[in-house]
Amino acid sequence: MRLGLMSFAHLHAESYIAALLAMPDVELIGVVDDNQQRGEHFANLFKVRLFEDYTALLREKPDGVIITSENARHLPLVEMAAAAGVAILCEKPLATTREDAQKIVEICQQAHVPLMTAFPMRFSSPAIEVKKLLASGKAGAIWGCNSTNQGALPIFHQQENLAFLNRNWFTDKHLAGGGAVVDHVVHLADLLRWFLGCEVTEVFAETNTILHAGQVEVETGGLVMLTFENGTFASIDCSWSKPAYYPTWGGLKMELVSENGLITMDAYKQIVTIYSHKTQRPQWGYWGSDANYGLLRDFISAIREKRPPAITGQDGYKAVEIVMAAYESAQTGQPVKL
């Protein structure tokens, strides 16, 4: 299986490459990035070929590409890859508007190329166990859910000695599509759709800039309420509420209140605490399941088996739809029907 990677703008690009290089049945034919210095840095780090531009990579006819650009730049890269007849794994969120997300889905359908949205949490072992439990019927009806996908302010990830990586776009409204809401709501919205097997019918949201006031121009705090067509309601705290010295970027947790009890899930509970003289503060080393690996294996299998991936472009579109409804609700102060 011959794969290529398009852009290092997103932090997940390194994790994907590390996983691909560990797969004996995969050939990473190379990478390409708009930022030449950033591209050279990672090409040297991973010892992979750096193409001069996206067209040059696609001329090599890879079986699939992974798009990890800024959110607003997904559409033109998808257009290029689809025109070349290449399968696509696109980072979340699929786009920064409903219209662009729909275009991405339609372009891939018309070109007859597989489109997968990067929601790796569906391949997290705790999430898979929750899905199995719900499917068994043992939990009974799900009445409500309280969930969190909090994190640190993205600019905290920028290291001074690696400023050329230029990843502060996560707080650029044009390139990212917003702030904490677009960054974190999509993961839990997708998991909840997957768990419940039904769609969101109403979204209500409140956002603010109280956290890290004055440091960025996008929302840093948010609480989103979802109502599903089966009557289940859920809350999502998507805030960038973790301090710069927090041991990790954040986490993903969920409490599902059901007819027969309470289900709790912590996707990043499997950690060891590391104390180091170098950092002068505790750090967490994660040893649990590699959700990124599972995501990539399904993408590869979908290409080989000529089947739709487990997480489709339509799944990506629905997550964008929920996020855009959240922004509309936060602006108007009213619930938004879907």
The mean pLDDT of 115-133, rounded to a whole number, is 97
| Beta strand spans in the chain (E) | 2-6, 27-32, 64-67, 87-91, 115-118, 142-148, 200-208, 221-228, 233-237, 253-258, 261-266, 271-274, 283-286, 336-337
Give the model's confidence band at 70: pLDDT under 50 very low, under 70 low, under 90 confident, else very high: very high
pLDDT in tens, 168-179: 999 999 999 999
pLDDT at 237 over 80: yes
Give the model's confidence band at 161: pLDDT under 50 very low, under 70 low, under 90 confident, else very high: low
pLDDT above 70 covers a percentage of the chain that reads 98
pLDDT in tens, 197-211: 999 999 999 999 999
Residue 130: the pLDDT is: 97
* Beta strands 27-32 and 2-6, pairing class: parallel
3-state class percentages of the chain: helix first, strand second, coil last, to nearest 5: 40, 25, 35
pLDDT at 52 over 90: yes
C-alpha dist (Å) from residue 136 to 35, 131, 260: 48, 9, 13
Give the model's confidence band at 311: pLDDT under 50 very low, under 70 low, under 90 confident, else very high: very high
Contacts of 89 (CB under 8 A, 6+ apart): 64, 65, 66, 67, 116, 118, 295, 296, 299, 309
pLDDT in tens, 4-18: 999 999 999 999 999
The mean pLDDT of 122-133, rounded to a whole number, is 96
Residue 295 · residue 310 · CB < 8 Å:
no
Tokens representing 9 are 């703008």
Residue 266: the pLDDT is: 95
Residue with tokens 């109403």: 202
pLDDT at 249 over 80: no
The mean pLDDT of 108-136, rounded to a whole number, is 97
pLDDT at 163 over 80: no
Model's pTM, two decimal places? 0.95
Looking at the chain, the domain(s) classified CATH 3.30.360.10 span: 121-290+312-337
The mean pLDDT of 217-236, rounded to a whole number, is 97
pLDDT in tens, 251-308: 899 999 999 999 999 998 888 888 877 767 778 787 888 999 999 999 999 999 999 9
As a residue count, the chain comes to: 338
The mean pLDDT of 137-161, rounded to a whole number, is 88
Burial grade of 210 (CB within 10 A; 0-12, 13-18, 19 or more): exposed
pLDDT above 90 covers a percentage of the chain that reads 86
Residue 159: the pLDDT is: 66
Q: Which CATH superfamily is domain 121-290+312-337 in?
A: Dihydrodipicolinate Reductase; domain 2 (3.30.360.10)
CATH code for the part of the protein at 2-119: 3.40.50.720
Contacts of 59 (CB under 8 A, 6+ apart): none
* More confidently predicted of 240 and 272: 240
Burial grade of 121 (CB within 10 A; 0-12, 13-18, 19 or more): buried
pLDDT at 160 over 80: no
Cα Dmax for the chain: 57
Looking at the chain, the domain(s) classified CATH 3.40.50.720 span: 2-119
Residue 157: the pLDDT is: 72
**Can you tell me the distance from the alpha carbon of 253 to that of 98, in angstroms, rounded to the nearest whole number?**
27
